[in-house]
Amino acid sequence: MEKFIGDAVMALFGAPVAHEDDPERAVRAALAIRDAIGAADVGGRAAALRVRIGVTTGEALVSVDARPEAGEGMASGDVVNTAARLQAAAPVNGVLVDEPTRRATEQVIAYEAADPVSAKGKKEPVQVWEARSPQARVGVDVVQSGRSPLIGRERELRQLLDGLARAHQERSPQLVTLVGVPGIGKSRLVWELFLAVDQSQELVRWRQGRSLPYGAGFAFWALGEIVKAEAGILDTDSAAEAEGKLADAASTVGPAERGWVLGHLRGLVGVAVDDGRGDRRGEAFAAWRLFLESLADERPLVLVFEDLHWADEGLLDFVDYVADRAEDVPLSVVATARPELLDRRPAWGGGKLNAQTVALPAMSEGETARLLAALLDLPAPESLQGIIAARLDGLPAAEKELLENAAVVGKVFWTGALTAVGEHDRFTLDDRLHVLARKDFLRRVRRSTVAAETEYAFRHVLVRDVAYGRLLPRAERVEKHRQIAGWLEQLSAERSEDVAEMLAYHYGSALEYARAIGRETEELRGRARHAFAAAGDRASALSAFPPAVGFYRSALELWERDDAARASLLLRLGKALHHAGEGGETELAEAGEELARQGDREAAADAETLLTWALHEAGDQERSERHLARGGCSCGGAGGLGREGVRNGDAGGHPHGQGEVRSGDPDRPGKPRHGRGASRR
Give the interface with Mg ion as residue ranges (CB under 5 A): 186-187
148 binds, among Mg ion, ligand ADP, none (CB under 5 to 8 A by kind): ligand ADP
Q: Which does 185 bind (CB under 5 to 8 A by kind): ligand ADP, Mg ion, none?
A: ligand ADP
Cα distance between residue 656 and residue 608, in whole Å: 11
Local structure of 268: helix, strand or coil: helix
Q: Could you tell me the smallest distance in angstroms from the CB atom of residue 183 to Mg ion?
A: 8
CB of 338 to ligand ADP, least distance (A): 8
What is the dihedral angle through the alpha carbons of 577, 579, 584, 590, rounded to the nearest 10 degrees?
A: 100
CB of 34 or CB of 186, closer to Mg ion: 186
Q: How far is the CB of 368 from ligand ADP (least distance, A)?
A: 10
User: Nearer Cβ to Mg ion, position 188 or 527?
Assistant: 188
Q: Is cis: bond before 16, omega within 30 of 0?
A: yes
d(CA 193, CA 186): 11
Per partner kind, with CB cut-offs from 5 to 8 A, the member of ligand ADP, Mg ion, none near residue 144 is: ligand ADP
Question: Which CA distances in Å does 278 have to 219, 274, 283?
Answer: 18, 11, 9
Q: How far is the CB of 320 from ligand ADP (least distance, A)?
A: 21
Burial of 548: CB neighbours in 10 Å, binned 0-12, 13-18, 19+? buried
Distance between CA atoms of 386 and 392, rounded to whole angstroms? 10
* Residues in touch with ligand ADP (CB under 6 A): 144, 148, 150-153, 180, 182-188, 371
Give the residue with the Cβ less far from ligand ADP, 185 or 267. 185
Nearer to ligand ADP, 359 or 678 (CB): 359
Least separation in angstroms between CB 664 and Mg ion: 56
User: What does each C-alpha distance from 294 to 143, 297, 300 come to in angstroms?
Assistant: 27, 5, 10
Q: For residues 186 and 506, which CB has a smaller minimum distance to Mg ion in the complex?
A: 186
Grouping H, G, I as helix, E, B as strand and the rest as coil, residue 40 is: coil
Q: How far is the CB of 300 from ligand ADP (least distance, A)?
A: 24
First to last CA, the chain: 59
Amino acid occupying residue 422? G
Q: List C-alpha distances in Å: 433 to 203, 410, 471, 477, 491.
A: 47, 15, 19, 21, 22
Which CB, 154 or 667, lies closer to ligand ADP?
154
What is the SS3 assignment for 521-572? CHHHHHHHHHHHHHHHHHHHHCCCHHHHHHHHHHHHHCCCCCCCCHHHHHHH
Residue with smaller CB distance to ligand ADP, 96 or 334: 334
Q: Which is nearer to Mg ion, 74 or 337 (CB)?
A: 337
Judged by CB, which is closer to Mg ion: 3, or 186? 186
Q: How far is CA 362 from CA 141, 184, 305, in A?
A: 21, 7, 22
Shortest gap between Cβ of 664 and ligand ADP (angstroms)? 50
Query: Cβ of residue 337: shortest distance to ligand ADP, in angstroms?
Result: 10
Q: Which is nearer to ligand ADP, 441 or 507 (CB)?
A: 441
Gap between the Cα atoms of 118 and 219, Å rounded: 46
- Rounded to a whole number of angstroms, the minimum distance from the CB of residue 82 to ligand ADP is 29
| Residue 615 Cα to chain centre, angstroms | 48
Give the nearest residue (CB) to Mg ion. Answer: 187
CB of 135 to ligand ADP, least distance (A): 17
Contact of residue 627 among ligand ADP, Mg ion, none (CB under 5-8 Å per partner type): none
Among residues 485, 490, 570, the alpha carbon closest in space to that of 526 is found at 485
CA distances from 599 to 223, 299, 589, 605, 659 (A): 86, 97, 15, 11, 19
